[in-house]
């Protein structure tokens, strides 16, 4: 390994499929001949122990924080986020002991905690190198409506602004939508006019004006990013994600290859 590993933070709303996509991409990378390390930063995840190579629950566990400080789930998440920042250099030391090509970071399910807590910026600063990026996941259940799509674009732009890292927008679980619907969502990301027309067409919704203003704000602040459809269950879009990373990192790796496909999920 001649250069520092590429670090990719997976963010998105609860239920967007972060953990599932992280594991699927790790399997794809392995089949393609690349090592990866999965880092779980969600202290409240219910995924089984051992699925992440480095698990923040070894240092901070949501249930323990709630019990120790007599907090409910929301307060516990806030306290846990700050405690993680205090332990992040232990996570970094564990990570430095592993030689790998890619670090895949599964962030907390509550994206607002990751996006808006100052402790999260300290965490990202500690773990990130020059080859770092964010994968912003678009849940198809939210993205399929124009107002929901604009909201996710705004959230993605906010995360990118907060952490100052290049961002790749991913439509997850694209197998749950008809192909023509997926094509429409991709067109919304690439053609602002089509998204604007779609937002304007939601005339029956009471928040149309707000959605339109949000859309115009994103259009003014930065060009709309493209949207890459992915499916963890069908292992689709993962090679496209890899190629986007090579473009983002400016890597000399050859992105043109056909990896050995991983085994079909049971």
> Does the pLDDT value for residue 119 go beyond 70?
yes
CB 130 within 8 A of CB 4: yes
The pLDDT assigned to 3 comes to: 76
pLDDT band at 117 (very low <50, low <70, confident <90, very high): confident
CB 25 within 8 A of CB 241: yes
CB 226 within 8 A of CB 167: no
pLDDT band at 259 (very low <50, low <70, confident <90, very high): very low
Q: What is the pTM of this model?
A: 0.88
What integer is the mean pLDDT of 73-86?
91
30-63 pLDDT, tens per residue? 999 999 999 999 998 888 878 899 999 999 999 9
> Does the pLDDT value for residue 165 go beyond 80?
yes
CB 128 within 8 A of CB 39: no
The pLDDT assigned to 27 comes to: 96
227-239 pLDDT, tens per residue? 999 999 999 999 9
- For residue 260, give Cα distances in angstroms to 30, 31, 105, 172, 211: 9, 5, 24, 22, 43
CB 228 within 8 A of CB 237: yes
pLDDT band at 210 (very low <50, low <70, confident <90, very high): low
CB 20 within 8 A of CB 48: no
Pairwise pLDDT comparison (117 vs 174), residue with the higher score: 174
Domains of the chain (ranges; CATH) run 6-249 (3.40.50.300)
């Amino acid at each position: 390994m001649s250069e520092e590993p590429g670090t990719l933070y997976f963010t998105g709303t609860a239920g967007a499929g972060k953990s599932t996509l992280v594991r699927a991409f790790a399997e794809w990378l392995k089949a393609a001949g690349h090592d990866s390390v999965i880092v779980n930063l969600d202290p409240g995840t219910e995924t089984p122990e051992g699925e992440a190579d480095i698990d923040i629950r070894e240092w901070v566990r949501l249930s323990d924080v709630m019990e120790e400080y007599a907090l409910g789930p929301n307060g516990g998440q806030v306290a846990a986020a700050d405690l993680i920042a205090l332990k992040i250099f232990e996570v970094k030391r564990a990570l430095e002991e592993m030689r790998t090509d890619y670090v895949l970071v599964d962030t907390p399910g509550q994206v607002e905690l990751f996006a808006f807590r100052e402790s999260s910026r300290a965490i990202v600063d500690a773990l990130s190198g020059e080859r770092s990026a964010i994968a912003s996941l678009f849940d198809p259940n939210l993205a399929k409506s124009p107002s929901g799509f604009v909201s996710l674009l705004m959230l993605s732009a906010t995360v990118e602004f907060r952490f100052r890292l290049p961002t790749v927008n991913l439509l997850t679980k694209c197998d749950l939508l008809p192909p023509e619907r997926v094509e429409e969502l991709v067109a919304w990301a690439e053609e602002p006019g089509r998204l604007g027309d779609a937002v304007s067409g939601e005339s029956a919704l009471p928040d149309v004006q707000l959605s339109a203003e949000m859309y115009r704000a994103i259009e003014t602040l930065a060009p709309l990013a493209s949207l890459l459809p992915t499916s963890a269950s069908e292992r689709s879009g993962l090679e496209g994600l890899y190629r986007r990373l090579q473009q983002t990192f400016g890597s000399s790796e050859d992105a043109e290859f056909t990896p050995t496909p991983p085994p079909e999920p049971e």
